[in-house]
């Protein structure tokens, strides 16, 4: 089945604790794809940007959902995780603040990734 999947999956999470089900879906789909061997680039934008900070994922709670720290750990280990430049700046988050392995990048990098040959983008 992997041969029919996109060569790269770019997932953008636009929600955080403000829309927990949508947020959880983004993390779950991205981490499931990463475990399946898909090249995953996960973007945290809007309220999900807070999860780039240490311990913030541990504050997230959604009944019957996989723990966000575990899903984020999978993404950090098997994929790429990016926090939106403008979203981070609006929240006072700097590169020194984020978890190791998370980069801060902007729209140009996102567009480059979604335009890559074989890429599939999902926005939650």
Per-residue pLDDT, 4: 57
3-state secondary structure of 107: helix
| pLDDT, position 7 | 85
Q: What share of the chain is helix, strand, coil (3-state, %, to 5)?
A: 45, 20, 35
For the chain, the first-to-last Cα distance in angstroms comes to 24
Instruction: Give the pLDDT score at 1.
Output: 46
What domains lie within the chain, and their CATH numbers? 2-123 (3.40.1260.10)
What is the pLDDT, as a whole number, of residue 32?
Answer: 97
**Residue ranges of the chain with per-residue pLDDT less than 50:** 1-2
Helix (H, G, I), strand (E, B) or coil at 48: helix
């Amino acid at each position: 089945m992997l041969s029919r999947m996109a060569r790269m999956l770019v997932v953008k999470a636009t929600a955080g604790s403000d829309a927990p089900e949508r947020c959880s879906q983004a993390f779950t789909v991205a981490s499931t794809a990463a475990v399946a061997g898909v090249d995953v680039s996960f973007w945290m934008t809007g309220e999900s940007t807070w999860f780039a900070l240490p311990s913030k994922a541990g504050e997230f709670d959604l009944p019957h959902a996989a723990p966000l720290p575990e899903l984020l750990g999978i993404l950090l280990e098997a994929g790429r995780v990016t926090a939106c430049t403008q979203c981070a700046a609006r929240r006072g988050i700097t590169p020194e603040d984020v978890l190791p392995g998370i980069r801060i990048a902007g729209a140009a990098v996102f567009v480059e990734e979604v335009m890559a040959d074989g890429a599939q983008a999902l926005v939650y």
